[in-house]
Amino acid sequence: MSEQLTPEAREKLENLQAFQSKVQQVTVQKHHTEAQLAENKSALSVLSKTEKDATLYRHVGNLLVETNQNSAEEDLQQRIEALEVRLQTLSKQSERIQKQFETLQKEIQEILNIS
C-alpha cells in the first residue's frame, strides 16, 4: 500500500502516527494525574477526620518527618490545586491533539479516495 502512496500521503500518514502517539501519551499522563488527584483528595478527607492534636508525619525523600495538621492540610490543598490545573491543561491538550488527529485523518481519507 505504501508503494502506491504519494509522498504527500506518506508524510500525512507519518504525521497521523505521531499524533496517535501523542494522544496516547497525553491520555496516560491524564490518567496518572487523575489518580494522584483522587489520592490527594482522599488523604485530605482522612486528614479532616483526624483529631487536631494527632501526631502526623509526611514523606521528605526517604524520611518521615513529624508535621502538624494545618501544615499537612495546606500542603495537600496546594497539591490538589496544582493537580487540578495540570488536569485542565492535559484535557485541553488532549482535545487539541484529537482535533488535529481527526483533521489529518480526513485529509488522508480524501487523498486515498482520490488516488
What CATH number is attached to the domain comprising 41?
1.10.287.370
In the chain, the number of structural domains is: 1
Domain that holds residue 57: 33-114
Give the whole-angstrom CA distance, residue 13 versus residue 104.
8
Residue 16 included in any domain: no
Quick check: is 28 in a domain? no
**Residue 16 neighbours by CB under 8 Å, 6+ apart:** 101, 104, 105, 108
Q: Domain for residue 4, yes or no?
A: no
Q: C-alpha angle with apex 11: 8 to 12, nearest 5 degrees? A: 85
pTM, to two decimals: 0.81
Q: What is the pLDDT along the chain (115 residues), one digit of tens a residue?
A: 445 778 888 888 899 999 899 999 999 999 999 999 999 999 999 999 999 889 999 999 999 999 999 999 999 999 999 999 999 999 999 999 999 999 999 988 888 887 5
Return the closest-CA partner of residue 104 out of 16, 21, 20, 24.
Answer: 16
In a domain, 5, yes or no: no
